[in-house]
Amino acid sequence: MAENIHNLVDLVRGHRVFIQTHNFPDQDAIASAFGLQYLLQQFGVPSTICHHGPVERAVTANMVSELGIEMLSDENDSANTPMCKNDYIITVDSQKGSGNIDDLIGCEVACIDHHPTFVEVDDYKYKDVRIVGSCSTIIADYYRECGVEMSEGVATALLYGLKCDTRNFTRGVTRLDVEMYNYLFPKSNNQLIRRYQAAEIEYSELNAFSDSLRNIEIYDEVGFAFLDFPCKEGFIATVSDFILDIDLVKFVVVYTRRPHGFKFSVRSELDEFDAGAIVSEALKDVGLGGGHKAMAGGFAEEEKVLEKSIDFKQVIQNLFLDAISKKKAK
């Protein structure tokens, strides 16, 4: 894959470059963008990391601060770095049209991601999509293949991103993920990573976490939980991961209200129940969804859900149970 990074460098050289993560970026998205930014800089290509939505988790914000990661969000004053239509955008840990990344004014010329493609985009001049455990794995592989040394901060971010998205190597792990763990480990500050991992649940979230667990409904090994209170993107994912550890649950759908709709976090521990495919099927008439076999996400428009019934919980449960039944029938 050494030729990949050189092809990308040749493509973006001479342009103003933005590296865009998915909205409300998590550890893997931020680490991937940071790693790619540092790598491009070694080839004389400066870039700016950008995203929509704040970095919500305190532990992720600490990683950004302590590793000196600079990112431009629409929460900041972007007057000094306005994007124009001729600027080049590289999307990382997401793909255009996936429903979790804003369409910015610049030109999306490249995509680096580890999620399956659900919406084909012809605009990319460079695309590296590999179904591995994390996007950080792909970025780390660029370093290994082209022989560029990374800083300790970059290695620490990439290893942390890899561990987070694979849930400490318990989901979606491939041989390349293991190889990149071995590659990154001696270069990283593992004491810092251990501190980050020890703070995944914030003290302020304990009551909300407890309340969410009281709302679990289980139907034939499928667990549903509606979080009927304001909550952060990362918190939804944390709850869905936790529910999957319940012995009666093999597939999880956790969702909460957002302006004009519902945000979903979906998890599966069964290979035959592809989370990405199921959420895509379940939400196809009311919104968008997609992701990996083990983890996925989506958004449903409230108006379209309520057109089916004012009992939105029943509508959502039926959409997912029907999609799962279709998978069982095949």
Residue 73, pLDDT score: 84
Residue 147, pLDDT score: 94
- CA-based R_g, the chain, Å: 19
Residue 4, pLDDT score: 80
pLDDT tens per residue across span 48-72: 999 988 887 778 888 999 999 999 9
Residue 326: which pLDDT band, with cuts at 50, 70 and 90?
A: confident
More confident residue, 270 or 304: 304
Q: Token pair of 261, please?
A: 């709709």
Residue 303, pLDDT score: 95
Q: Report the percentage of the chain scoring pLDDT > 70.
A: 94
pLDDT tens per residue across span 193-236: 988 877 666 666 777 778 777 889 999 899 999 998 888 877 88
Residue 247, pLDDT score: 87
Residue 106 has pLDDT above 80, yes or no: yes
Q: How far apart are CA 124 and CA 229, in angstroms?
A: 39
Residue 76, pLDDT score: 53
Domains and CATH numbers, the chain: 2-197 (3.90.1640.10), 207-329 (3.10.310.30)
Residue 141 has pLDDT above 80, yes or no: yes
Residue 204, pLDDT score: 67
What's the distance, Cα to Cα, between the start and end of the chain in Å? 36
pTM over 0.85: no
Judged by average pLDDT, the poorest of 23-27, 188-192, 288-292 is 288-292
Q: How far apart are CA 252 and CA 227, in angstroms?
A: 13
Judged by average pLDDT, the poorest of 113-117, 130-134, 208-212, 303-307 is 208-212
| Residue at 44: amino acid letter | G
Residue 174 has pLDDT above 80, yes or no: yes
